[in-house]
Amino acid sequence: MAKPETTQHHTVVVIGAGAAGTSVAASLLRQRPGLDVAIVEPSDVHYYQPAFTLVGGGAYSLAKTARPQAETLPDNARWVRAAVTELQPDTNTLLLSDGRKLAYDILVVTPGLKLNWDGVEGLRDAIGRNGVCSNYDPAMAEYTWQCLKAFQGGKALFTQPPAPIKCAGAPQKIAYLAADYVRKKGLSGSSELKFYAAGGALFSVPDFVPPLTQVAKRHNVGLLMNHNLVAVDGKNKVATFRFTNSAGEVSEVKENFDFLHVTPPQCAPDFIRNSALANAEGWVEVDQHSMQHVRYDNVFSLGDASSLPTSKTAAAVRKQSPVAAANILARLSGRGLDASYDGYTSCPVVTGYGTVMLAEFIYGGKVTPTLPLSPFKESRFYWHVKKRVLPPFYFDYMLKGKEGDIAHKAID
């Protein structure tokens, strides 16, 4: 006789204990300590991903980006150590990689996004060897630094895939750090640095394009837009791009390299793309202000996996999490959802060793700095904020569900 299926029920089930899942769960439990919250998370390490850029540039240790998951999860949440494999929103249930089934009253979908290493021919095989590196994987970020130290002049390429990606500034940041490093080593004369982006603009917010173009110019980094990396031959050190010209004609461009930093294409995780929660692009389809699902009113999503039309960053999650938590508690008590997210996100664009241009903006690309400093100027202060203030702020404040904040304001 078949064994009867046992289904464990929790009031709130959170999928993924990254920046978003952990901070929302912590916020819910700070406000309602007795709430029955389960977090499904397969990994036993929590990484502070925003510092991966600095690891790749040799300015931060990988060890400092990692904490045991058991330390970062809220004490009074139940940790379900498995991966979600299937969503069943019509029955308020989901399936886990170990065969178990969970049921919920409220579902919070925060598994981040999928790095699609197979989206570029040859990349999976090439990465981590022959000067092909990426800051997007913690297992790889230290190799970027090894490659940079080993670089003796020649051609260094940096790629950015089609949007959306997490931290849209990260592909540029490593290019500027590399350029600064090459200059300090006295290799500028014998080096050629090129930044290849699949999209048509250097940055999604037009106001930041001129100052960032100046940064690239100062560093002598060539900017090639509308070039999408489609293949990497690591052994022969050749990168292939698909170039689309202004008339829409497509051609193939091949480029030799000595150093290649790849930002892989990114997409929604498969179990979301294949579910009724997904929009046409695969992301969890939520209202952009309340973060409530547009068809399933007991489902919420934020962070990289969500359809929120803003830049995917931990900084965005910091502002999304209190709003999502407030709306989840309102939904549990049968009240209206009053809390609203304005699309705030920020990207500390590292422009060299010791300088950062802090791009902060909301929906519609409106620039909204938090501090009264020019957002378009490179700043030493923001370098220290990125390197020394934000990591402890993330682990000890944001992930703990603490929410006091300085308001951001639109500039005139």
The residues annotated with a catalytic role in the active site are 167, 347
Cα 255 versus chain centre, distance: 28
The least CB distance from residue 313 to ligand FAD, in Å, is: 3
Residue 110 touching ligand FAD (CB under 6 A): yes
The residues, any chain, with a CB within 8 Å of residue 369's CB and separated by 6 or more, are: 358, 360, 375, 408, 409, 411
Residue 155 makes contact with ligand FAD by CB under 6 A: no
Block residue for tokens 């802090």? 358
**Whole-number minimum distance, CB 183 to ligand FAD, in Å?**
23
What gap in Å lies between CA 10 and CA 107, rounded to an integer?
A: 10
Identify which range of 35-43, 197-205, 366-374, 403-411 contacts ligand FAD by CB under 6 A. Answer: 35-43
Q: Is 143 in the site for ligand FAD (CB under 6 A)?
A: no
87-116 burial, b if ≥16 CB within 10 A, otherwise e?
bebeebbbbbeeeebbebebbbbbbbbbbe
Does an H or E element contain 149, and which? helix 138-150
Taking the complex as a whole, the smallest distance from the CB of residue 85 to ligand FAD amounts, in Å, to 7
Q: Please say which residue, 49 or 204, places its beta carbon nearer to ligand FAD.
A: 49
Residue of 12, 17, 25, 77 that binds ligand FAD (CB under 6 A): 17
Return the residues of window 250-279 that contact ligand FAD according to CB under 6 A. 269, 271
Single out the residue of 234, 322, 343, 348 in contact with ligand FAD (rule: CB under 6 A): 348
Pairwise CA distance, residues 45 & 110, whole Å:
16
Q: Is 408 near ligand FAD (CB under 6 A)?
A: no
> Is residue 401 a contact point for ligand FAD (CB under 6 A)?
no
Complex with ligand FAD: residue 237 or 320, whichever CB lies closer: 320
Identify the DSSP state of 312.
B
Tell me which residue of 138, 190, 199 sits closest to 172, measured CA to CA: 199
111 counts as binding ligand FAD under rule CB under 6 A: yes
The CB-of-263 to ligand FAD minimum distance in angstroms stands at: 8
Q: First-to-last CA distance in the chain?
A: 72
Beta bridge partners of 155: 192
Interface positions, 300-319, toward ligand FAD (CB under 6 A) = 303-305, 312-315, 317
Contact status: 21 vs ligand FAD (CB under 6 A): yes
Contact by Cβ (8 Å): 410, 370: no
- The reply to whether omega before 164 is within 30° of 0 (cis) is yes
Return d(Cα 149, Cα 146) in angstroms, integer: 5
Q: Does 164 bind ligand FAD (CB under 6 A)?
A: no
Tell me the C-alpha distance between 31 and 327, whole Å. 12
d(CA 214, CA 221): 10
CB of 67 or CB of 242, closer to ligand FAD: 67
CA triplet 33, 302, 62: central angle to 5 degrees?
Answer: 90
- Which residue number, 171 or 237, has a Cβ lying nearer to ligand FAD? 171
Judged by CB under 6 A, the residue of 43, 61, 152, 214 near ligand FAD is 43
**Rounded to whole angstroms, how far apart are CA atoms 161 and 171?**
9
For residues 142 and 192, which CB has a smaller minimum distance to ligand FAD in the complex?
142
- Residues paired with residue 115 on neighbouring β-strands, in sequence order: 266
Q: Which residue is nearest to ligand FAD (CB)?
A: 18
Segment interacting with ligand FAD (CB under 6 A) among 45-53, 176-184, 326-334, 359-367: 45-53
Complex with ligand FAD: residue 211 or 237, whichever CB lies closer: 211
Tell me whether residue 321 or residue 327 sits nearer to ligand FAD (CB atom): 321
- Name which position in 53, 159, 290, 368 contacts ligand FAD (CB under 6 A): 53
Separation between Cα atoms, residue 40 and residue 85, nearest integer Å: 11
Query: Where along the sequence are the contacts to ligand FAD (CB under 6 A)?
Result: 15-21, 40-43, 49-50, 52-53, 83-84, 110-112, 135-136, 166-167, 170, 269, 271, 303-305, 312-315, 317, 348
